[in-house]
Structure 1
Amino acid sequence: MDSPTQALLTKLYAAFNERDIPTLLTFMTPDVSWPNGWEGGVLHGQEMVSAYWHRQWGQIEPTVTPTAFSTEPDDRIAVTVHQVVHDKAGAKLADRTVTHVYRFDRGLVTEMEIRE
């Protein structure tokens, strides 16, 4: 995997953990396809993704830390992440490792998938 893509993804995870939706959206195509890992289904477009994160962060406090990066045979980028989720009172709801798989077009995220 090339280091510019890894650097970009590292910035995205930092922005997610800082709850910086405007920065996150600048790295996505307008018609991005994004998994709704909290409620289920798939979201389409920046507006839906933004609304999802507002709902999610109003209820839970997820932190996602990348631990490994690799390139898939179809050129998607797989990121192994350590995900810890707390409720608003601070109780731990989840602590696990998952894989996020990204498709890019001209340096922007067009699609993300979560693999358990």
Structure 2
Amino acid sequence: MASQYEDLIKKAYSAFNARDIDTVLSTMHPEVQWPKAFEGGYVSGYGAIREYWTRQWTEINPHVEPVGLNERKDGTLEITVHQIVKDLQDNTIFDGTVKHIYILKDGLLRRMDIEL
């Protein structure tokens, strides 16, 4: 990955995998919108994301590694990720590659969408 956003992305994903919500939130804009990947819809704002992830991690164990970064012509940031999702008994639910598409604002993550 080579971009002015590489450090921001690495920080966000590393903190997510470490379950360090405060550090992940520090990479996000206050008006952030985040997809509820396994449920549909979005959550908005730091409090809603904290609540969503805290609940999600009582049900599944996701691990997401960025493997590619592309700045799209429309100004969005495309992050190709290898995602492994396991249940709490360590059974694999999903193991594959998806794309996380970010809209940035003020140098922070403002919205994320998922492309399969």
- TM-score, normalised relative to structure 2: 0.94
- Tell me how far apart the structure 1 counterparts of residues 24 and 95 of structure 2 sit (CA, whole Å): 23
- Tell me how far apart the structure 2 counterparts of residues 115 and 46 of structure 1 sit (CA, whole Å): 23
- Tell me how far apart the structure 2 counterparts of residues 106 and 59 of structure 1 sit (CA, whole Å): 33
Contact 2:11 2:27 in 1 (8 A): no
Number of residue pairs aligned between Structure 1 and Structure 2: 116
Counterpart in 1 of 2:49?
49
| Cα drift, residue 106 of structure 1 | 1.4
- Tell me how far apart the structure 2 counterparts of residues 79 and 3 of structure 1 sit (CA, whole Å): 11
- Relative to its length, the structure with more helix (as a share) is 1
- TM-score, normalised relative to structure 1: 0.94
| Cα drift, residue 90 of structure 1 | 0.7
- Tell me how far apart the structure 2 counterparts of residues 82 and 115 of structure 1 sit (CA, whole Å): 13
Counterpart in 2 of 1:88?
88
Counterpart in 2 of 1:102?
102
- Tell me how far apart the structure 2 counterparts of residues 81 and 97 of structure 1 sit (CA, whole Å): 6
- Tell me how far apart the structure 2 counterparts of residues 98 and 24 of structure 1 sit (CA, whole Å): 20
Contact 2:2 2:69 in 1 (8 A): no
Identity of aligned residues (%): 41
| Cα drift, residue 26 of structure 1 | 1.0
Counterpart in 1 of 2:33?
33
- Tell me how far apart the structure 2 counterparts of residues 114 and 99 of structure 1 sit (CA, whole Å): 6
Cα distance per residue 1:56-107 (max 9 Å; x no partner): 1111110001111001111110000000011111111110110001111111
Q: Is residue 78 from structure 1 mapped to residue 78 from structure 2 by the alignment?
A: yes
Structure 1 regions of 5+ residues with no counterpart?
none
Aligned Cα root-mean-square deviation (Å) = 1.3
